[in-house]
A and B are shown apart, each in its own frame.
Chain A
Amino acid sequence: MKTLAENPLLALRWLLLLGMAVIFTAANSYFPAAGNIFALGESFALLGLVALGLALTILAGEFDLSGGAMVAVSGLIMLKCGADNAVLGLLAALAFGGLVGLFNGIVTLKLGVSSLVTTLGVMILLSGFAVWLEGGQAINFENYDLTDAFNMDWFGVLSPRSVITIVLFVVTGLMLAFTRMGRDIIAAGSHRKAAGMAGADVRGAVVTTFVLSGLFAALAGALLAITLGRASSTFGANLLLQGASAAILGGVALSGGVGRPFGVAIGVLVLAVLNNGLGLIGASSPAILLLNGGVLLIAVLAGGAPATWLRARLA
């Protein structure tokens, strides 16, 4: 009861996750099978990287709206530049993601305006750029060996993508907990003025979160393109909203400075399990939309006045 009193959201997302796992297992015996865990890992990898980057910017007191559109653009760059040499394509996609992140960070700080505004402009720009790159047709990847390599499974359940994503979650978590940069990022999101006066490198921290957000989103897009063997400007359409939902569900406070990558990972898992399970039991599309909304509503209520009331009663 103690954790529930301290942080109802924390307990709630575990409850949601375990509850859904039990229900879906009961409803469809394929749910806990290795093949499905593998598929879950794939959705975790895609949404996870976008949510992790977005969560970093929120931690630093900003908000990167451009992550979803970046997934589409970077996938297209990956296949356009990587048709002959996949490493070149991956580097081009990552370089583009990092540069756009750098631009987001520097422009936001230089202008002293909200990053919601600057990254909205970049988001619209990127979605236009994606359609332009695509040139009217989805692009296919001819390097079947690489696609196959990325679709192999380790121990039946892990894919290269999910392993890369898990590693990045761990590294980001360690960075936030144990490095000076991590402390600066959290300080920048908690009380920026005070952090700057206390000697934290606030500007460096904010720019770093945008660069990482761009890099993570670009990596998510490039890996998606390799795995599927094709890229399209419509990839990433819902990722921004889902990523934001996952981050908040994972305990990241929109006001900045509060949240951990581990929580974000749980938030991503909740959404991934929900949609995977609903797909398995053949839920209708209104049911999927309503349940997604319902889960978010529960999460949002757990962060509002009802939770404060509950906390007061339990304490």
Chain B
Amino acid sequence: MSAATLSRTSGFGGLFAPARVQATVIQIATVVMFLAACAFIENFASASNISSILYAASTVGIAAVGLASVTISGNLFALSLGSTAAFASIVYIAASGWGVLPALAASVALGLVFGLLQGLVVGWLRCNAIISTIAAGSLIAGLATWVSDGRTVLAEGGPSWLGSGTLIPGVPWQAVLFLLIVIVGEVLMQRTRAGWELRLRGTNPDAAELAGLRVTRMVVLSYVLAGAGAAIAGALIAAQSGTGNLRVGADLDFSAIAAMLVGGVAIGGGRGRIIDVASGTLFLAVLTNILLVNNFAYEVQLMVKGLAVLVAVTAGALLARKKR
């Protein structure tokens, strides 16, 4: 598996290698589903609907990209993303008087600090990754409640370009930011020394350490990225709605995990790419939107999302097995 994981996938065969087949199938399925919906569902291809898909995908996707660095480096997942996003939404709104970019920077700084602290606890102090992030989630939620006094913070002035501006009709700036983060993440993960070390840490933690890789630093880095991703997601949600409160990001943790897993990132670490996270996110966002425009209720959307996770994982496992 490790050879297939680490070699650059090249050509047609590489796309359907056991380690890549689920990701490839989801990418094809996303495109097919999107085109079919454009052809058969009225108003699906309208600029406003496309932009609503992209708004939903951008926030979850950015959080999932950050989370994926934790997963790929072998620490399963973090459960503090939702409260980090909530705190970041409050900071973004509170700082929005300074302008959009300083407010975004303030939220990201908050996410970086929280990520760094969790990274140190997991990487340096070698504490249990899941429980550390549950504890962090509770502590961050507590701090956010204390700072905001449990109230919703409202932005002054009208909507900003980050909240509702578009590059071209149908493509909001938030989607552009998502795309940039995916590109940077993909290059970082596939083409840099840090990315290689991070993936090798996930493939085999003991071997990576014995081989002298900078294991601790990579684990810390992965949590810093996850914290930053969650904070950006929170800031974007705040920019959309003009409000920041503790409910922002309530189901961000499990939505991000689902998007990442559907895309073909292995929960055990080492396998999966940042573009897979993006395709998993888009797959779920398009699917949810199709249900939404057909007036299916929230509960049906949830059930279909759960089924999509199961089907994607089942298909991935079966296809990979047939290839072996």
* A111 adjacent to B317 (CB under 8 Å): yes
A296→B135 contact, CB < 8 A: yes
Q: Output the least CB separation between B324 and chain A (Å).
A: 11
Q: Which residues of B contact A299 (CB under 8 A)?
A: 131, 135
Given A107-B314, A300-B127, answer yes or no on A285-B150 (Cβ-Cβ < 8 Å): yes
A125 adjacent to B132 (CB under 8 Å): no
Contact A293 B131 (CB under 8 A): no
Q: Identify B127's interface contact among A107, A126, A290, A305, CB under 8 A.
A: A305
Q: Please give, as numbers and ranges, the residues of chain B lying within 8 Å of A127 by CB-CB distance.
A: 302, 306
Partner of B317, one of A113, A122, A289, A303: A113
Contact among B137, B254, B261, B268 with A123 in the assembled complex (CB-CB below 8 Å) = B254
Pairwise interchain contact A254-B128, C-beta atoms closer than 8 A = yes
Contact indicator per residue, chain B 300-324, by CB within 8 Å of chain A (1) or not (0): 1111111111100110111001000
Write out the residue numbers on chain B whose beta carbons fall within 8 Å of the beta carbon of A288. Answer: 142
A131 and B302: CB pair below 8 A? yes
Verify B268–A124 contact, CB threshold 8 A. no
Q: Are A128 and B300 in contact (CB under 8 A)?
A: yes
Whether the Cβ atoms of A122 and B143 lie closer than 8 Å is no
A19-27, A144-152, A160-168, A241-249: which one contacts chain B?
A241-249
- A132 adjacent to B300 (CB under 8 Å): yes
Closest to B134 in A: A241
Distance (Å) between the CB of A34 and the closest chain B CB?
30
Interface range on chain A: under 10, 10 to 19, 20 to 34, or 35 or more? 35 or more
Report Cα–Cα, A308/B126, bound state, in Å: 10
A251: min CB distance to chain B, Å: 12
Q: A114-B267, A128-B299, A299-B131 are in contact. Are A292 and B138 (CB under 8 A)?
A: yes
Partner of A290, one of B143, B303, B306, B307: B143
Any B CB within 8 A of the CB of A33: no
Residues of B within 8 A of A296 (CB): 131, 134-135, 138
- Which positions 119-137 of chain A face chain B at CB distance < 8 Å? 120-132
Interface size on B, residues (CB 8 A): 52
Q: For the complex, give the distance between the alpha carbons of A220 and B132 in Å.
A: 27
B310 touches A245 (CB 8 A): no
Q: Does B204 reach chain A (CB closer than 8 Å)? A: no
| In the complex, chain A residues whose CB is within 8 Å of the CB of B318 | 111
* Nearest Cβ on chain A to B278's Cβ, whole angstroms: 19
Residue of B nearest to A129 (CB): B303
Contact yes or no, B254 A124, CB < 8 A = yes
* CB of A233 to closest CB in B, whole Å: 8
Is B79 among interface residues, defined by CB-CB distance under 8 A? yes
Report if A301 contacts B (CB, 8 A). Answer: yes
Q: Which residues of B contact A241 (CB under 8 A)?
A: 79, 134, 137
Give min CB distance, A67 to chain B, whole Å.
14
Q: Mark A300-315, 1 if CB is under 8 A from B, else 0.
A: 1101111010000000
Asked whether A129 lies within 8 Å of B299 as measured between CB atoms, the reply is yes
Chain A 233-269 interface mask (CB, 8 Å, partner B; 1/0)? 0000000010011001000001000000000000000
A120 to B150 alpha-carbon distance, docked (Å) = 30
Given contacts A290-B142, A293-B137, are A128 and B301 in contact (CB under 8 A)?
yes
Verify if B124 is at the interface (C-beta below 8 Å from A): yes
Interface string of B137-179 (1 = CB under 8 A from A): 1111111011000100000000000000000000000000000
CB of B45 closer than 8 Å to a CB of A: no
Nearest to B305 among chain A residues (CB) is A124
Q: Are A305 and B301 in contact (CB under 8 A)?
A: no
**Interface positions of B from 219 to 240, Cβ below 8 Å from A:** none
Q: What is the distance, in angstroms, from A191's C-beta to the closest C-beta of chain B? A: 15
- The minimal Cβ–Cβ distance linking B1 to chain A, given in whole angstroms, is 12
16 pairs, A vs B, C-beta closer than 8 Å? A113-B313, A113-B317, A120-B257, A120-B309, A122-B306, A124-B305, A128-B302, A131-B299, A254-B131, A285-B150, A286-B146, A293-B141, A294-B135, A296-B131, A297-B121, A303-B128
Question: A121-B307, A290-B143 given. 13 additional CB < 8 A pairs?
Answer: A117-B309, A122-B306, A124-B302, A128-B302, A128-B305, A129-B299, A131-B298, A244-B131, A245-B135, A286-B145, A288-B142, A293-B140, A293-B141
